[in-house]
Homo-oligomer: A and B are copies of this chain.
Amino acid sequence: MAIEAATELAKGTTGWGSETGSGSAEHAHTAAWIATVLRGRIAAGELTPGSKLSEQSLSTALGVSRNTLREAFSTLAGESIVTRIPNRGVFVASPGAEEVREIYRVRRMIEPAAVLWGEVTPEVLENMEAIVERAQAARDAGSVPEMADANQALHSAVVGLTGSASLRTLMDRVLAEMRLVFHAMASAPDFHSHYVDRNVQLVERLRAGQREEAAAGLRTYLNAAEAELLGHLADEAS
């Protein structure tokens, strides 16, 4: 299953094709708009990894022409949210063990670098503390999605220390791929609760100005998270 996702998607978009009524402003960049819609559906888990995105079905379902949809596909393929196989079609990316290793290769470089050499302003610190509080509240409430959100927000903020839009973009792509990994796992284990305290410690060290300790701790944290995730993936591959 999980193949041929056009029908389920069409159900969600019943009533498209006609103008949304709020205005005519959306005539700008239909292709980019479609890319945004698909990106959202994939991130929300409505389009599961590995499912095929048929050009004909999707174009009629979304009310755009095949050419425009194709341009959107190019964008998403560039973000590696989607995999394009020549003459076979495009599929929602389904990251495996190798992709996970690549994800953590990137994170192990960028995040500690940001901690070591980024510009730590009081505003960013307060933002981070708000995020870890949100994560703690989510853990107490037992809400896994909120914990995942807070976790990703924190690590995105860490990369934000660099002040670089490119690194931010790369990190967002990586986090999106992480989300796909979780979506691909049938049983979603409580993966994040183990690491909330580590995040608290990270922010504390940052506030205390102990950058090297923060970076070192972050690296061991990333190693542990990668190992646990790979373990779950190996189990799943039965």
Residues of A within 8 A of B (CB): 28-29, 31, 67, 70-71, 74-75, 78-79, 86, 102, 105-106, 108-110, 112-114, 117-118, 162-167, 170, 173-174, 219
Residue in A118, A167, A173 whose Cβ sees the most chain B Cβ within 10 Å: A167
* Smallest beta-carbon distance A158→chain B, Å: 12
| Pick from B78, B102, B166, B219: contact of A74, CB under 8 Å | B78
Q: How many copies does the complex hold?
A: 2
6 CB-based A-B contacts, threshold 8 Å = A31-B74, A74-B75, A78-B78, A106-B166, A109-B117, A166-B170
Contact A166:B78 (CB < 8 A) given known A71-B70, A109-B110, A109-B113: no
Q: Which of A31, A112, A166 has the most C-beta atoms of chain B within 10 angstroms of its own C-beta?
A: A166
Q: Are B105 and A163 in contact, with the CB atoms below 8 A?
A: yes
**Nearest Cβ distance between residue A38 and chain B, in whole angstroms?**
14
Known: A71-B71, A74-B78. A109 touches B114 (CB 8 A): yes
Q: Please, how many angstroms separate the alpha-carbon atoms of A106 and B109 in the complex?
A: 12
A129–B74 CA distance with the chains assembled, in angstroms: 39
Q: Could you tell me the distance in whole angstroms from the C-beta of A110 to the nearest C-beta in chain B?
A: 7
Question: For A163, what are the chain B residues with a Cβ–Cβ distance below 8 Å?
Answer: 105
A110 touches B112 (CB 8 A): no
Nearest-Cβ distance from residue A29 to partner chain B, whole angstroms: 6
Chain B residues in 8 Å Cβ range of A31: 74
Bound Cα distance from A170 to B168, whole angstroms: 12
Known pairs A71-B71, A106-B164, A112-B117. 10 more at Cβ < 8 A? A29-B86, A70-B71, A78-B78, A78-B79, A105-B163, A105-B164, A108-B117, A109-B167, A110-B167, A166-B174
Q: Which residues of B contact A113 (CB under 8 A)?
A: 109-110, 112-113
